[in-house]
Amino acid sequence: MSTFGGWVANETTTIFLIVDQSEQAQKAVDALARIGIDTVEGVLVKGVEAWREQGLPIERLGTTSAQECATLMQTQEVHVLDVRDDMEWEEKHIPGALHTYVGYLEEQLPQLPKTSPIVVHCTVGHRSALAASILRRQGYTEVLNMLGGLTAWEKLGLPLEAAAKYKRTDCIRRGDR
């Protein structure tokens, strides 16, 4: 909570928490307070199901699988956005993917049309769900979260590439100035 809460909220952000059990609410409020965020305005206990049972509106994010994403990449224009951290990206990533760490996403939105199809992924789907929500909030309309993320992509044997690594010869040695 405090890690990603701190990336997407600050001391002026109005926050409404959604929890499954009432005891989870206090833990979440405390975690946010420890990082200086004490603007929790309300708590919905019993999760989204309680909201839905009241007949209130629900907005959903689209999802896709790694196999469906690979098919989309071959059959139509789709942008793949990797929201893992820099080290994960450099180790391996989907060829042609864009990269922005989820924590920087609001400040570094993809330079794509807001109606362009975008598949967001991380390692398994948690960070990418947050990223998909951020993109939707910023007006992107065709956003899909790739469930299973790069883990599923790799298990299917789909193509991966590594970022170029620096070689020792690329560094200037002290005596070579």
Active-site residue (options: 29, 102, 105, 122): 122
Tokens describing residue 74: 């071959």
Q: Mapping DSSP to helix (H, G, I), strand (E, B) and coil, where does residue 62 land? A: strand
Q: Mapping DSSP to helix (H, G, I), strand (E, B) and coil, where does residue 120 land? A: strand
Q: How far apart are CA 2 and CA 34, in angstroms?
A: 8
Residue (of 87, 148, 136, 81) closest to 110 by Cα position: 81
Q: Verify whether residue 69 is a known catalytic residue.
A: no
Tokens describing residue 69: 């994403």
Catalytic residue ranges: 122
